Structure 1
Amino acid sequence: MNNDQNKKIVLFIATLGAFVVPFMMSSVNVALPSISKELSMSTVALSWISLSYSLATAIFVFPFGRLADILGRKKLLLWGMIGLSISSALCGLTFNSAMLIIARVLQGISGATVSVTVVSILTSVYPPGERGKVLGLNVAMTYAGLSTGPFLGGLLTEYLGWRSIFIITVVLLIIVVVLLLNLKQEWAEATDESFDYKGAAIYGIALFGIVCGFSLIRSLSGIILMVIGFIALIVFYNFETKVEHPIMDMNLLKENRILTFSSLAALINYSATSALSYLLSLYLQYIKVLDPTQAGLILMAQPVVMALFSPVAGRISDRIEPQKVASIGMAITAAGLAFFIFLSQGTSVIYIVAGLLTLGFGFALFSSPNTNAVMSSVEKRYYGVASGILGAARTVGQTFSLGITSLIMALYMGNESINASNQTAFIGAVKVTFSILTVLCIAGIFASVARGKINRSGQDL
């Protein structure tokens, strides 16, 4: 097999792997009202179906990035895909809310492997001049999953029930597993180094405490968890500066401005945008009284635009400074979020679609150039770590976005399900949440600009 054929096979596996997880996530968002009805879940409990997955992914994505460099990226991706298959089957077989949330945690742990291996494998195989193109294609497949998820998820939920979403996911995952088993090549540049188990544990405690504490901030237990989380974060920083082979090389962040600010920009961007499909799915089905299929069709608008323009943005970032492209994308994303500050019971579907199209275009311009900047800013031996940092920024951002949403929902609605008597409170919570997310995204523009310019060898200019 020649080098070009090998690169195409790797690209196919990576893009198919990148498709499956977002497909599942976006499908589940559309199915939330049906899940709530069958399992009798409150608004706060319902938010944990998404939050538990994101939190588990966020905790494990960083350590797994380091583990991928040591054990091998293909091997870790294979284990993750097998774990995803098993946990997805458990989701489809669940009979109560607690079991579903536990299965979602297992999905999140397995899904973390996809976040850290797919991008680093592509970066290992493709040289800098071709990297933006393939990363853009990879992002496009991610958004293809996000775009088909709402529609197919709506159809499956309406005609076969929400459990069928997880069954379809298992079938797709098995295909990826078979392909990986037949791929002989491996990528591991740090096989002679040890894994920092203590650092990984401290990091997990810190993130769990901060995120869970934030979602429970109204109670004393929430405040205690946040304090524990921040103390653990300080301990983690000090610990990692003294370990011979840390899961996070602090010098890498200190010395690499592009990596630091690109990751911060990604964190802010995902914090500002990730709750969108969750909120709009509830809004469209409870307030606009649309069925899951109709809601899914509307929600497709954003990821379809992402899928169309991400490869273009990736190619542009091979020729034009990624800082400029990504910063413009962040600004357009903020404008798209601002649309939803003015939602009401009478808001037209056309208005909602216009906001989603704006958001999709902005996110496409931001995502692949930002990823290109991160992966081009480090040496080959740090690809797994850089991918882990970027994956952590994404998943922590997703978790905080859902955490903010859960907090606002709890403040406005308490622990009740959405019904006719509290729809006004629900809309108020949605408007406040989007106001906060818009301001957050505006702040992200400055982080994107602050990264500075890069050259093709990844050094600051």
Structure 2
Amino acid sequence: MPEKTVNKNVLLILVMVTSFFTPFIGAAVNLALPGIAGEFDLNAVAMSWIAMSYLLSSAMFLVPLGKLADIMGRKRIVLWGNLVLAVSSALGVFAPSAEVLIAFRVGQGLGSAMVFSTGMALITEVFPQRERGRAIGYSVTAVYTGLALSPVIGGVLISWAGWRSLFVVPAIIGVLAAIATHAAIPGEWAEARGEKFDLKGTLLYIPSMCLFMYGFAHLPAPAAFALTSVGLAGLVLFVRTELGTTSPVFEVRLFATNRLFALANFAALINYATTFAVTFVLSLYLQYIQGMSPREAGMVLIAQPLVMAVVASRSGKWSDRIDPRLLASAGMAVSAVGLLMLTLLRDDTPTAFLLVTLGVLGMGFGLFSSPNTNSIMGSVEKRHLGLASGTVGTMRLTGQMLSMGLATLVLHLFIGDSPVHAGNHGAFIRAADTIFIVFAALSGLGVWASWSRGRRPSRDA
């Protein structure tokens, strides 16, 4: 579609709004879990499904929906995605049981995947290369702002109107976003129109991805090892199947023929795998070791996403003029430094040191994410933009699950199934040190992957 027929700023605002609420929907509900568990009399496993169902649903559907958007039209998918999100959220307000609520959370995940898998592709389609990094930076900033503000907004809503109010907001926003998409964005983008949708590959990918991510997130339980192994075997079979398919749902060949695309996605996977669980570990540390209240711990931890949001908006703009490889590699290196700083944690570590360290981590993540996403989206043909956008989201969610799985596994090795108490503070500190050392080492691998991708193509993809 000709660039002049689309109001780029309106499209960017719509993508930013949905980018803000996608992580908000996932994160804010964590604050409501005690209230939900009390109302529906849930145990810990059932309670985890309230949170996990949304993430699993999003991760399972991102890649297939990205490909479907390339075929059917990205505007159509994002419009229907907002409607699915709105309807699922509205029904969640009236959920009579935990089972029904989990079903609506799956619907929220599906709607979010439809929106997220197309948002970055639309930005890449509409904005020329000289402006694309800035636009991507704003979109990434919206994601981190949603993460940063979800505890604040979610806490206020829960205190004011109960946990069901968390489902009212995305219902309203979803309807408004769908109306604005239909009214303000003319035309359609479907460069792969006419291609056959790979249903066989999709039906193999979805359950395999679900089993792998759910299993890894619940290690080291014996059943989790089995689920992870079955899921991994299914994903291997999926790759082999896609290599022999004329029109695959996931163009696996891109990882073999497009070095920039492959290594930038690998770097993104490592980046999320080494940073996501930091907040989880530090929240335990601040509350159990330093004796802070949840509110006090949240006020400390908010430093990281706030710095991320500020830096990500600038680094996206810088990547329009500077090779994104340089910015992303520097960002990963800064994150590694921040992770090494966290290995100095002890029982009486000053809060000021933690704030500085979280600022360093936020700076590294913000410096990496926008330029790296710009590289990925600019490395593929337009007919693969939806697929690339879905892949970016999949790397994010998979990395987050891997991060939590690694952290949980290490904590289990050091303190077992016991809760954190005065008698095992030392073991917890040693576990945290080990987690941060492993994450820092993996970040070194990420620096290599980010730097080895090669320079950005000069063409305007």
TM-score by length of 1: 0.88
The aligned residue for residue 350 of structure 1 is: 352
Work out the percentage of aligned pairs sharing the same amino acid: 39
In structure 2, give the amino acid aligned to 1:450: S
Q: Residues 185, 231 of structure 1: CA spacing in aligned structure 2 closer, same or farther, 3 A cutoff?
A: same
1:340 aligns with 2:328: no
What secondary structure sits across from 2:400 in the alignment?
helix
In structure 1, give the amino acid aligned to 2:315: A
Report the Cα distance in structure 2 between the residues aligned to 1:242 and 1:348, rounded to whole angstroms: 57
Query: What is the CA-CA distance between 1:420 and the residue it aligns to?
Result: 7.4
Do the aligned partners of 2:59 and 2:394 also contact (CA within 8 Å) in 1? Answer: yes
Report the Cα distance in structure 1 between the residues aligned to 2:432 and 2:457, rounded to whole angstroms: 42
Do the aligned partners of 1:206 and 1:233 also contact (CA within 8 Å) in 2? Answer: yes
Q: Residues 335, 107 of structure 1: CA spacing in aligned structure 2 closer, same or farther, 3 A cutoff?
A: farther
1:438 aligns with 2:440: yes
Q: Residues 225, 170 of structure 1: CA spacing in aligned structure 2 closer, same or farther, 3 A cutoff?
A: same
Q: Residues 389, 215 of structure 1: CA spacing in aligned structure 2 closer, same or farther, 3 A cutoff?
A: closer
Q: Residues 290, 251 of structure 1: CA spacing in aligned structure 2 closer, same or farther, 3 A cutoff?
A: same
1:125 aligns with 2:162: no
The aligned residue for residue 20 of structure 2 is: 19
Query: What is the CA-CA distance between 1:341 and the residue it aligns to?
Result: 3.6
Matches within 5 A, 1:137-148: 137-148=138-149
Query: What is the CA-CA distance between 1:57 and the residue it aligns to?
Result: 1.6
Do the aligned partners of 2:129 and 2:460 also contact (CA within 8 Å) in 1? Answer: no
Query: What is the CA-CA distance between 1:38 and the residue it aligns to?
Result: 6.4
Report the Cα distance in structure 1 between the residues aligned to 2:53 and 2:423, rounded to whole angstroms: 28
Do the aligned partners of 2:315 and 2:367 also contact (CA within 8 Å) in 1? Answer: yes
Q: Residues 41, 365 of structure 1: CA spacing in aligned structure 2 closer, same or farther, 3 A cutoff?
A: farther
Report the Cα distance in structure 2 between the residues aligned to 1:277 and 1:89, rounded to whole angstroms: 30
In structure 1, give the amino acid aligned to 2:398: V
Matches within 5 A, 1:184-333: 184-285=186-287, 288-333=290-335
Report the Cα distance in structure 1 between the residues aligned to 2:95 and 2:379, rounded to whole angstroms: 44
Query: What is the CA-CA distance between 1:2 and the residue it aligns to?
Result: 9.2
Query: What is the CA-CA distance between 1:348 and the residue it aligns to?
Result: 3.3
Q: Residues 369, 93 of structure 1: CA spacing in aligned structure 2 closer, same or farther, 3 A cutoff?
A: same
Aligned-pair Cα RMSD in Å: 3.1
Query: What is the CA-CA distance between 1:287 and the residue it aligns to?
Result: 5.0
The aligned residue for residue 6 of structure 1 is: 7
Report the Cα distance in structure 2 between the residues aligned to 1:313 and 1:226, rounded to whole angstroms: 36
What are the Cα deviations for residues 289-311 of structure 1, in whole angstroms up to 9, with x where unaligned?
A: 54554443333211221221212
Question: 5+ unaligned residues in a row in structure 1: which ranges?
Answer: none
Report the Cα distance in structure 2 between the residues aligned to 1:207 and 1:149, rounded to whole angstroms: 27
1:108 aligns with 2:109: yes
Report the Cα distance in structure 1 between the residues aligned to 2:291 and 2:384, rounded to whole angstroms: 49
What are the Cα deviations for residues 15-45 of structure 1, in whole angstroms up to 9, with x where unaligned?
A: 1111111223333345556666766766666
In structure 2, give the amino acid aligned to 1:403: G
Report the Cα distance in structure 1 between the residues aligned to 2:128 and 2:342, rounded to whole angstroms: 40
Which shifted more, 26-35 or 323-332?
26-35
Query: What is the CA-CA distance between 1:316 and the residue it aligns to?
Result: 1.3
Report the Cα distance in structure 1 between the residues aligned to 2:412 and 2:303, rounded to whole angstroms: 29
TM-score by length of 2: 0.88
In structure 2, give the amino acid aligned to 1:138: S
1:452 aligns with 2:437: no
In structure 2, give the amino acid aligned to 1:437: F
Report the Cα distance in structure 1 between the residues aligned to 2:433 and 2:300, rounded to whole angstroms: 19
What are the Cα deviations for residues 262-296 of structure 1, in whole angstroms up to 9, with x where unaligned?
A: 00001111111222334444544555554554443
The aligned residue for residue 381 of structure 2 is: 379
Report the Cα distance in structure 1 between the residues aligned to 2:382 and 2:277, rounded to whole angstroms: 34
Report the Cα distance in structure 2 between the residues aligned to 1:292 and 1:322, rounded to whole angstroms: 38
Which shifted more, 122-131 or 213-222?
213-222
The aligned residue for residue 88 of structure 1 is: 89
Q: Residues 218, 325 of structure 1: CA spacing in aligned structure 2 closer, same or farther, 3 A cutoff?
A: closer
Query: What is the CA-CA distance between 1:337 and the residue it aligns to?
Result: 2.7
What are the Cα deviations for residues 181-238 of structure 1, in whole angstroms up to 9, with x where unaligned?
A: 3233321111111110111121223222322333455454333323322322222122
Which shifted more, 223-232 or 277-286?
277-286
Report the Cα distance in structure 2 between the residues aligned to 1:367 and 1:356, rounded to whole angstroms: 16
Query: What is the CA-CA distance between 1:419 and the residue it aligns to?
Result: 7.1
Report the Cα distance in structure 2 between the residues aligned to 1:226 and 1:172, rounded to whole angstroms: 36
Q: Residues 47, 354 of structure 1: CA spacing in aligned structure 2 closer, same or farther, 3 A cutoff?
A: farther
Q: Residues 417, 78 of structure 1: CA spacing in aligned structure 2 closer, same or farther, 3 A cutoff?
A: farther
Which shifted more, 441-450 or 412-421?
412-421
What are the Cα deviations for residues 74-119 of structure 1, in whole angstroms up to 9, with x where unaligned?
A: 1111222222223334555556655554443332222212221100
Do the aligned partners of 2:3 and 2:126 also contact (CA within 8 Å) in 1? Answer: no
Question: 5+ unaligned residues in a row in structure 2: which ranges?
Answer: none
What secondary structure sits across from 1:275 in the alignment?
helix
In structure 2, give the amino acid aligned to 1:453: R
Do the aligned partners of 1:70 and 1:192 also contact (CA within 8 Å) in 2? Answer: yes
Do the aligned partners of 2:128 and 2:460 also contact (CA within 8 Å) in 1? Answer: no
Query: What is the CA-CA distance between 1:335 and the residue it aligns to?
Result: 2.0
Which shifted more, 332-341 or 314-323?
332-341
Matches within 5 A, 1:391-406: 391-406=393-408
How many residues of Structure 1 are paired with residues of Structure 2 in the alignment?
Answer: 459
Matches within 5 A, 1:158-173: 158-173=159-174
In structure 2, give the amino acid aligned to 1:17: T
Q: Residues 170, 308 of structure 1: CA spacing in aligned structure 2 closer, same or farther, 3 A cutoff?
A: same
What are the Cα deviations for residues 392-443 of structure 1, in whole angstroms up to 9, with x where unaligned?
A: 2112112222333344455556667767787776666544433433332222
Q: Residues 175, 349 of structure 1: CA spacing in aligned structure 2 closer, same or farther, 3 A cutoff?
A: farther
The aligned residue for residue 56 of structure 1 is: 57
Do the aligned partners of 1:89 and 1:167 also contact (CA within 8 Å) in 2? Answer: yes
